[in-house]
Amino acid sequence: MAFQFHQGGFTNIADDSADSRVSAAMRKTKRETNGPHATKRVALGTITNQRVQPSRAAKPKQVNASSTFSGFGQDENQVGKSFGIAASQGFTIHVDDEPEVQITHVVKPPVDSSDVNLQLNPAVTSLAETAYERTDSPMCLDVSMEERPHLTPGEEREAIILTVPEYTGDIYTYLREAERRHRPKPEYMRKQPDITTNMRCILVDWLVEVAEEYKLHRETLCLAVSYIDRFLSQMSVLRGKLQLVGAACMFLAAKYEEIYPPDVGEFVYITDDTYTKKQVLRMEHLVLKVLSFDVAVPTANCFCERFLEISCADDQTKSLAMYLVELTLIDIDPYLKFLPSEIAASAVCLANHTLGHQTWSYHMQQSTGYSVKSLELLIHAMHKTFTNAPNHPQQAVREKYKSSKYHQVSTLSPRLTFPTGAVH
């Protein structure tokens, strides 16, 4: 027995069939009067590719009872076919046909080169017929570096980096000014109460050995000696701390000049652990403070390299000139009275004279600003040092330049004569 839920509760459908038919007839009349109601939309329906036209968009139809409830007879509560949504016809979108385009191949006619030449400017067409002619430039270029066929590519690159032809004059002027600003006091040793000139000679000789042991550059050694002299020009040092000053200055110069400087522990080791790392670092700090952090100063080695490059000196001449420069580092007197550029010029001049080369050309005089006459006193002192080198108590420099790497220039004997213009 089937039951239908009404407002009053569950009732027997068979017992109340007459009332049901009357109610159905009344609802039918009401629908015909008020018009059709919208059909319920199924919550989940079958998904198809056809779009179902919504009932609200369709035109209202005339509804009759026979067609709407044909499957149910006269009883609306009869269980039969379920209500379904009538499938509406889909719609299509009209698209205009694209016009057909006929593609035709265009054949270009052959181009006559004579016609093209006729259309171009005569100034343009004549370019291919005329050869390129070099004309003098109004700018004056320094091509001195290009006129050195004896240089290898590596040597030429090093020479360009060293001289920088475009700025040679300005750089040299700056270096000459800087050497005057940062020169030590020539007579500073007189004001030192506890150290002597001989102690300084021993210290510098030891630094030469240190530089050779750790394969440091020559510029590093020259910088270290410069720092020592400038520091001692302003500070009084006890003899027990003189080696500490030398180690700190060498450590500072190595950090400035070298790519891979020795560690501070190495400088403690070379002093035979006389000083600690903390002492070396504290002395380095004091040196920097006294020097006002002016560590980029020109040395005799710096000028000597430039002068040798200008004179196109050979390797033996370079080694001999550098040997003479390092000999001047040992003795404080009389070389602190002269500027580093003067020492470098005198060393190059004396090296050329010793090896039988042209002593000092006019080009060198114009480039350096020094003549042989202006350097005669220094050349005389350097010649004396060169002569007495085998008998000097400190032999580190001489032993260094006995090597074949430096062409054994320390074994050469100086000439008895002096360069032209110098006095004996």
- Element holding 10 (H helix, E strand): strand 9-12
Where does a domain end: 245, 270, 290? Answer: 290
Among 266, 290, 314, the domain-final residue is: 290
Give the pLDDT confidence of 275-321 residue by residue, as tens digits: 999 999 999 999 999 999 999 999 999 999 999 989 999 999 999 99
| Tens-digit pLDDT profile for residues 319-372 | 999 999 999 999 998 999 999 999 999 999 999 999 999 999 999 999 999 999
Question: Same domain, yes or no, for 216 and 276?
Answer: yes
* 283 shares its domain with 305: no
Q: Of the given ranges (32-46, 178-192, 225-239), which has the lowest mean pLDDT?
A: 32-46
* DSSP one-letter string for 209-254: HHHHHTT--HHHHHHHHHHHHHHHTT----HHHHHHHHHHHHHHHH
DSSP-assigned states of every residue in 302-357: HHHHHHHHHTT--HHHHHHHHHHHHHHHH--TTGGGS-HHHHHHHHHHHHHHHTTS
Query: Is residue 295 in a domain?
Result: no
Residue 229 included in any domain? yes
Give a yes or no: residue 331 inside a domain: yes
Predicted confidence (pLDDT) per residue in 389-413, tens digit: 999 999 999 999 999 999 999 999 9
Cβ burial, residue 226 (10 Å; 0-12/13-18/19+):
buried
Q: How far apart are CA 223 and CA 221, in angstroms?
A: 5
Question: Domain boundary at 290, 312, 327, which?
Answer: 290
> Are 313 and 284 members of one domain?
no
One domain, residues 219 and 310: no
Question: Are 304 and 356 contained in the same domain?
Answer: yes
Residues 344 and 250 grouped into a single domain: no
| pLDDT band at 169; cut points 50, 70, 90 | confident
> What is the reported pLDDT for 10?
43
In a domain, 280, yes or no: yes
DSSP H or E segment with residue 256: helix 239-257
Residues 311 and 279 in one domain: no
C-alpha torsion angle, residues 299, 300, 302, 304 (rounded to 10): 170
Provide the token pair at 420. 């032209």
Domain that holds residue 194: 187-290
**306 and 405 in a common domain:** yes
Q: Would you state the pLDDT for residue 360?
A: 92
What DSSP character marks residue 9?
A: E
Residue 26 is assigned to a structural domain of this protein: no
Q: Left (φ > 0), alpha (ψ -120 to 50) or beta: where does 407 sit?
A: left
On whether residue 318 sits in a domain, the answer given is yes
Phi and psi for 4 in degrees, rounded to 5? -125, 135
**Whether residue 195 sits in one domain with residue 222:** yes
pLDDT at 249 over 70: yes
Task: Give the H or E element holding residue 198.
Answer: helix 197-213
Q: Give me the pLDDT at residue 8, please.
A: 45
As a whole-number percent, the residues of the chain with pLDDT over 90 amount to 56
Residues 344 and 305 in one domain: yes
Of residues 178 and 53, the one with the higher pLDDT is 178
3-state secondary structure (DSSP) of residue 151:
coil
Q: How many domains does the chain have?
A: 2
In this structure, are residues 372 and 349 in contact, taking their beta carbons and an 8 Å threshold? yes
pLDDT score for 98:
59
195: in domain: yes
**Whether residues 256 and 316 fall in one domain:** no
Q: What is the mean pLDDT of residues 139-154?
A: 51
Q: Is residue 257 part of a domain?
A: yes
Supply the CATH number for residue 360's domain: 1.10.472.10
Q: Is the dihedral of CA 397, 338, 159, 296 positive or negative?
A: positive
Assign 199 to helix, strand or coil: helix
